[in-house]
């Protein structure tokens, strides 16, 4: 299995234009949120001792699996990602409460807007999206956004330097 630096470096090779990265800051969270909206239906109320009642849905299952994957790659980034995506799952539940037509219209609209932003960014980049070469790009994209934001805030400089060594600097 690839480590964090390998995954992010492979993904970064398709994302060296700053404008592309900026479109991903909005596009990828919209896509992830829309997928959680779509996966939040159907939901079954499950009572757990000490926790209370939760809505068990495919979104919750995907969140658990993806959180475990991200935490296995990097504990700090993984825990932050688990919190962010956990909030997305929480805020997706009210969308899933609408009737089927409204739920689908809202979820798919968010999904389409997210992908439009992705393709605008890749137009600037002049390269195809990372998932075209490696389907894991779909799972790494959200972590890439979090890593890039952490770099802009001055965190994880060693990781940033390793990614730039492997993939080249951002233009």
Q: Would you kindly state where each structural domain of the chain is located, as residue ranges?
A: 4-167
Listed in sequence order, the residues at least 6 apart from 11 whose beta carbon sits closer than 8 Å to its beta carbon are 130, 137, 140, 141, 144
Residue 54's nearest CA partner among 65, 43, 68 is 43
Backbone angles phi, psi at 54, to 5 degrees: -125, 155
- For 11-20, 93-102, 125-134, which range has the lowest pLDDT when averaged over its residues? 125-134
Q: How confident is the model at residue 135 (pLDDT cuts 50, 70, 90)?
A: confident
pLDDT at 136: 83
Question: Above 90 in pLDDT, residue 125?
Answer: no
Mean pLDDT of the chain, nearest integer: 92
161 closest CA partner among 5, 4, 2, 41: 5
Distance CA 84, CA 46 (A): 23
pLDDT over 90 at 156, yes or no: yes
Highest mean pLDDT among 17-21, 45-49, 131-135: 17-21
Q: What is the pLDDT of residue 19?
A: 93
Which one has a higher pLDDT value, 168 or 34?
Answer: 34
User: What secondary structure, in 3-state letters, does 41-106 show?
Assistant: CCCEEEEECCCEEEEECHHHHHHHHHHHHHHHHCHHHHHHHHHHHHHHHHHHHHHHCCCHHHHHHH
Pairing between β-strand 52-56 and β-strand 44-48 as defined by DSSP bridges: antiparallel
Instruction: State the average pLDDT over residues 148-160.
Output: 94
Model pTM score: 0.91
The pLDDT of residue 170: 83
Whether 147 contacts 46, CB under 8 Å: no
| 168 has a pLDDT exceeding 90 | no
Structure tokens at 61: 């299952």
d(CA 148, CA 144): 6
Confidence of residue 171 (pLDDT cuts 50, 70, 90): confident
| Residues 70/77, Cβ–Cβ less than 8 Å | yes
Whole-number pLDDT of residue 15: 85
């Amino acid at each position: 299995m690839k480590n964090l630096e390998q995954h992010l470096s492979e993904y970064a090779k398709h994302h060296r234009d700053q404008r592309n990265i900026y479109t991903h800051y909005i596009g990828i969270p919209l896509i992830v949120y829309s997928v959680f909206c779509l996966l939040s239906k159907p939901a079954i109320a499950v009572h757990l001792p000490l926790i209370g009642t939760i809505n068990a849905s495919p979104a919750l299952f995907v969140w658990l699996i993806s959180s475990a994957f991200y935490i296995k790659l990097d504990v700090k980034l993984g825990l932050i990602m688990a919190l962010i995506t956990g909030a997305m799952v929480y805020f997706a539940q009210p969308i899933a409460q609408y009737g089927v037509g409204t739920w689908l219209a809202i979820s798919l609209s968010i999904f389409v807007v997210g992908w439009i932003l992705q393709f605008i960014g890749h137009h600037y980049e002049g390269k195809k999206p990372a998932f075209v070469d490696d389907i894991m790009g779909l799972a790494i994209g959200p972590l890439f956004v979090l890593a890039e934001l952490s770099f802009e805030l001055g965190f994880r400089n060693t990781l940033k330097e390793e990614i730039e060594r492997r993939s080249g600097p951002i233009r």
